[in-house]
Structure 1
Amino acid sequence: MKLTEQVVRGLRVAKLFKENTDRINNVDFSPTGDALISSSEDDQIVIYDCEKGTQKRTVNSKKYGVDLVHFTHAKNTAIHASTKIDDTIRYLSLHDNKYIRYFPGHTKKVVTLSMSPIDDMFLSGSLDKTLRLWDLRSPNCQGLMHLSSRPVAAFDPEGLIFAAGVNSESVKLYDLRSFDKGPFASFRVPQEKNFEWTGLKFSPDGKTILLSTNGGVIRLVDAFHGNPTHSLTGHLNDKKLALEASFSPDSQFVFSGSTDGKVHSWNAETGQRICAYSTDHTGPVQCVQFNPKYMMMATGCSNMAFWLPSPEDCA
């Protein structure tokens, strides 16, 4: 089934989970698309089966708290940032709920975490204004970069370069093999004064960089030349939250939540808003991701919603 504007308009909440008692702060699909993991402010990690539309397991992280949970490439492991005790990143075996390794170094809250799409490397950025490169096999930081402000960062789909957004005004591209030499490209993005970048993502085809903000605008930028292509607006962010925005797997559409519990979609090529969906979300929708392999989307406030195309679009 191909994703078209008609199919996007017809997306509906097929399943709503109400297991969490507090805000879901991150969701991540497994690379194969058959599982989804979420972390939340109530210190729970919940794993869902995407094929069955069921909740598989809950793992508690009462001691350290949990944020920014991500699957690694191994089936039953994840990394996550901590919200209590310290700002160490933790590598967790999900099937027996034991920590495999700790990654200490950050001295303030970790606000960005990105797993390499091809190997065991991952990136972390913190309010301590550093960006660190890690390898799951070693507790030692593989590379350290000092920045002038809170960083946002992500790997490109090939896993060969990464982008860092600095000071909510410039995007710098680094080659992983020589990132200590500094960026090989840097471009400024004209930015409104009253909000900050809170997230950065590459489109799955690698051609576009998405910059989400704590205001009512999402910026799309050409990944090769740095030219801003579209400003996506129409969603509400009156609480200055870090609302996640995400691409569809074909890079054609962008989805975002809003502070009034709605979810919005745009055409990434034209910048036109397609739809605002009413939902069963009771609070701001801060997590929105599209499954990389299946025709489904997940959105989270303190409830988790699984979205599917309406039946007439599947006929």
Structure 2
Amino acid sequence: MSYCINPKCPKPADPLNAQNRICRHCGSALFIQGRYRVTGLLGEGGFAKTFEVDDRGTPKVLKVLQLGQSKAVSLFQREADVLQKLRHPGIPRVEAGDYFTFSPRHSTAEVHCLVMQKIEGCNLEEWLNHKQHKPISQRQALDWLRQLTEILREIHSHQYFHRDIKPTNIMLQPGGKLALIDFGSVRQVSGTYLAKMGVGHQGTIIASKGYAPPEQENGHPVPQSDFFALGRTFVHLLTARHPLEFYDAFTDELRWRQAAPHISPELADFIDYLTQRLPGQRPQNTQVILQCLGAIDQAGQKSRSFIVHQKSPKASHHPHPPTLSPKGGKIKARKVFSWKMPLLALSGLVLLPGLAWTQVKIYPYLTSIIPSESPPKFTQSPPKAKIATAAIPVSAPAPISPTKTLAGHSQDVRSVAFSPDGKTLASGSLDGTIKLWDLAKGQTRQTLKADTAPGEMVYSLLAISPDGEILASNSGSRGSIEIWNLKTGKLLQEVQAQTAGVAAIAISPNGDIFATGSPDGTIQLWNLPGGTQINSFSLHIGPVQALAISPDGQTLATGFQNGSIKLSPLNPGNDSSPEDNQGLSHTILVGHVNKVHTVAFSPDGKILATGSADNTIRLWDVATGKLRHTLSNSQGIIYSVAFTGDGDILASGSASGQIQLWNVATGAAIKNLPAHSGLVESVAFSPDGRTLASASTDKTIKIWALP
């Protein structure tokens, strides 16, 4: 048949139109754009009707907008734009030109149309009906969770989030693969958008009851809203009942576990982890989700049991992802928050953990037995170098124990930095606060808090100027930098920096400028303390993961998501950027096979230390770009590195909760410190090199006195 898409046609499904080119009732064209013949109505709901069309022998799907309001048109156009950019077998394909407007006969109103690939199969709600509402198995759940997470990774990597994940929007194709459909609610993530959400602006409310998280129902969705909807979808699939059937209004809990006795406690814990009430309590990127699934699957294959740290099931409980003991014997609980976005460790006094956005960017929280991300492909082979391990120390140094444990943060401590006189330590936490500690007394001197919205992601980057006057921090998801007077604790300036979020900050040795790096690949230079932008540029390699400025202020080291590092000339005094200095040498360091989370220059500027998700540290000769040593201690992902003031010793913090001390000259391991029960997010040496501070996801800071 030929279906008429004119919204005012009195008989659009007239079978007598089958061979016509013009509708018998309204005179509108039935052969749309000279190629599409509408063969039937597939469904309608929301803003649009969906039809099946024949495109010269190929079946496709046509969506026709039923509303003419500007907001509806904007959402419809956004869907078309997003689908043209996304390329994944689990996402309907849209080509350029597939969005167009159609003019019905005798009408001045245009009809907005979008043609896309037809996904064969049935949606998961229909599939459950066909299966007589039999819940899916754990094995099937793990497989489907992986498939959908891979699809979300593609969406989120383009700085979008879906906003309407539920069983009816997930298609099961004949070959057993899943596809995510209905991108009419998709939203682009930007610093501007997150800033508006953070100050109370309400977005378009698109919420499917039972699947949408609280922040989305209140008009403030964020990327982690997709993870909540994913978890609620699997509550439905694992119980074959709608999630709201399990909702207890008196306790604000979803009591669903008793309806899924066939799944392991680890999978149930993971579903609850996805559906935590606040976005900051959920996984922060798809890589974290994939590694959780890998841990659950690995435990099942080895017939091992997980023991997860649990409390009474309150809505405020933060479930921790299951972790395995690296020794393979007794399984123990590890209090680890898994939402890590790519933050970075900086040189000198600036030490930052890895962050990810986006992102988008984003990182793993598990011990070293869990594989890290798939290595990217390089066009050249990594240089060979001697590998030093922690198994054979150079000597047997005296034991080192922490002299103080500083507790006071209510969430993960992400970064620490010493003041130049070594008397004050600044710490940044996921709880949204910066604490200034009096090290002599071991007490908090002052607590600084940036203006963040409830549930807003908190990144907690820190940098202290060499004169000890300025503290720069990034405390929220809005891409802004706060500039504080370190001595008084007064907020001097808030700089609206990277629109895609801030992934790294570094202050120059003379304290006149600071640099910010973003997941969108841009780097910006700002003056201090005024916060006026000096320059903005891109090194055209990809998302920035780490930044450091050399002690002489002439070289910028940038670590990237693909594992590479770039050394670029930097001369901010004449307002030039690395990309402007075309006649000067740029060095690309290739050797890591996964994200570079941290970079730091030695005090003399001759050596660059880099730590990566490939579980190694590399020491590079800055002048030649050659690799000096590869340091590997099998402790897991390296999140932070720091040099002593004389440059003789390097400290590294890793996913295992341990700190490793290294001999910089030889690359040999000196001492291993079993420091924390969680990830070591940041390490920093005092200016005299006699004191080491470490920060962890166990919410504590430890102070170490070195001999």
Normalised TM-score (structure 2): 0.40
- Match of residue 149 from structure 1: 542
Which of 139, 164, 172 pairs up with 2:558?
164
Which of 610, 615, 630 pairs up with 1:211?
610
Task: Check whether the contact 2:548–2:599 (CA below 8 A) recurs between aligned residues.
Answer: yes
How far off is 1:31 after superposition? 2.1
Task: Check whether the contact 2:511–2:528 (CA below 8 A) recurs between aligned residues.
Answer: no
Larger CA deviation: 131-140 vs 15-24: 131-140
Structure 2 gap ranges (5+): 1-393
Larger CA deviation: 269-278 vs 218-227: 269-278
Instruction: Quote the Cα distance in structure 2 between the aligned partners of 1:47 and 1:202.
Output: 25
Q: What does 1:86-97 align with in structure 2 at a 5 Å threshold?
A: 86-94=478-486, 97=489
Q: Which has the higher strand share?
A: 1
Which of 173, 182, 186 pairs up with 2:586?
186
- Cα-to-partner distance string for 1:188-215 (whole Å, 9 max, x where unaligned): 323243x111121110111101111123
How far off is 1:120 after superposition? 1.9
Instruction: Quote the Cα distance in structure 2 between the aligned partners of 1:9 and 1:181.
Output: 50
> Which letter maps to 1:161?
T
Change (3 A) 1:268 1:93: same
- Cα-to-partner distance string for 1:15-38 (whole Å, 9 max, x where unaligned): 001211211111111122221101
- Cα-to-partner distance string for 1:157-207 (whole Å, 9 max, x where unaligned): 1223322335432422213144352363222323243x1111211101111
Change (3 A) 1:91 1:52: same
How far off is 1:272 after superposition? 1.1
Q: Give yes or no for the alignment of 1:292 onto 2:687.
A: yes
Change (3 A) 1:75 1:255: closer
Instruction: Quote the Cα distance in structure 1 between the aligned partners of 2:432 and 2:569.
Output: 34
Larger CA deviation: 20-29 vs 221-230: 20-29
- Cα-to-partner distance string for 1:57-93 (whole Å, 9 max, x where unaligned): 2223352645112223454531111324x11111123
Q: What does 1:138-287 align with in structure 2 at a 5 Å threshold?
A: 138-146=530-538, 147-151=540-544, 152-166=546-560, 167-176=562-571, 177=573, 178-179=576-577, 181-182=580-581, 184-193=584-593, 195-237=594-636, 240=637, 243-279=639-675, 281-287=676-682
Task: Check whether the contact 1:174–1:185 (CA below 8 A) recurs between aligned residues.
Answer: yes
Task: Check whether the contact 2:497–2:516 (CA below 8 A) recurs between aligned residues.
Answer: no
> Which letter maps to 1:68?
L
> Which letter maps to 2:600?
K
> Which letter maps to 2:499?
T
Change (3 A) 1:189 1:76: closer
- Match of residue 322 from structure 2: none
Paired residues in the alignment total 300
- Match of residue 129 from structure 1: 521
How far off is 1:295 after superposition? 1.0
Larger CA deviation: 87-96 vs 12-21: 87-96
Instruction: Quote the Cα distance in structure 1 between the aligned partners of 2:494 and 2:449.
Output: 17
Instruction: Quote the Cα distance in structure 1 between the aligned partners of 2:568 and 2:690.
Output: 31
> Which letter maps to 1:102?
E
Instruction: Quote the Cα distance in structure 1 between the aligned partners of 2:497 and 2:450.
Output: 20
Instruction: Quote the Cα distance in structure 1 between the aligned partners of 2:397 and 2:442.
Output: 20
- Match of residue 68 from structure 1: 461
Task: Check whether the contact 2:563–2:590 (CA below 8 A) recurs between aligned residues.
Answer: no
Task: Check whether the contact 1:44–1:66 (CA below 8 A) recurs between aligned residues.
Answer: no
Change (3 A) 1:101 1:277: same
Task: Check whether the contact 1:113–1:124 (CA below 8 A) recurs between aligned residues.
Answer: yes
Greater relative contact order, per chain length (Cα 8 Å cut-off, separation 6+): 1
How far off is 1:54 after superposition? 3.5
Which of 69, 76, 82 pairs up with 2:475?
82
Instruction: Quote the Cα distance in structure 2 between the aligned partners of 1:303 and 1:96.
Output: 24
Structure whose alpha-carbon radius of gyration is higher: 2
> Which letter maps to 2:619?
L
Change (3 A) 1:148 1:190: closer
**What SS does the corresponding residue of 2:531 show, helix, strand or coil?**
strand
Change (3 A) 1:278 1:123: same
Change (3 A) 1:8 1:63: farther
Task: Check whether the contact 1:256–1:265 (CA below 8 A) recurs between aligned residues.
Answer: yes
- Match of residue 57 from structure 1: 446
> Which letter maps to 2:428?
S
Instruction: Quote the Cα distance in structure 2 between the aligned partners of 1:209 and 1:73.
Output: 19
Instruction: Quote the Cα distance in structure 1 between the aligned partners of 2:418 and 2:661.
Output: 19
> Which letter maps to 2:542?
S
Task: Check whether the contact 2:564–2:588 (CA below 8 A) recurs between aligned residues.
Answer: yes
Which of 303, 306, 309 pairs up with 2:703?
306
> Which letter maps to 1:297?
L
Larger CA deviation: 104-113 vs 184-193: 184-193
- Match of residue 406 from structure 2: 17
How far off is 1:287 after superposition? 0.8
- Match of residue 31 from structure 1: 420
Task: Check whether the contact 2:483–2:529 (CA below 8 A) recurs between aligned residues.
Answer: no
Task: Check whether the contact 2:452–2:476 (CA below 8 A) recurs between aligned residues.
Answer: no
> Which letter maps to 1:155?
I
How far off is 1:9 after superposition? 5.0
- Cα-to-partner distance string for 1:104-140 (whole Å, 9 max, x where unaligned): 2311221111111113211110112101111024333
RMSD between aligned residues: 2.3
Larger CA deviation: 212-221 vs 54-63: 54-63
- Match of residue 21 from structure 2: none
Q: Which has the higher helix share?
A: 2
**What SS does the corresponding residue of 2:543 show, helix, strand or coil?**
coil
Change (3 A) 1:106 1:284: same
Instruction: Quote the Cα distance in structure 2 between the aligned partners of 1:197 and 1:91.
Output: 26
Task: Check whether the contact 1:17–1:304 (CA below 8 A) recurs between aligned residues.
Answer: yes
Change (3 A) 1:250 1:235: farther
Instruction: Quote the Cα distance in structure 2 between the aligned partners of 1:250 and 1:25.
Output: 25
Task: Check whether the contact 2:467–2:511 (CA below 8 A) recurs between aligned residues.
Answer: no
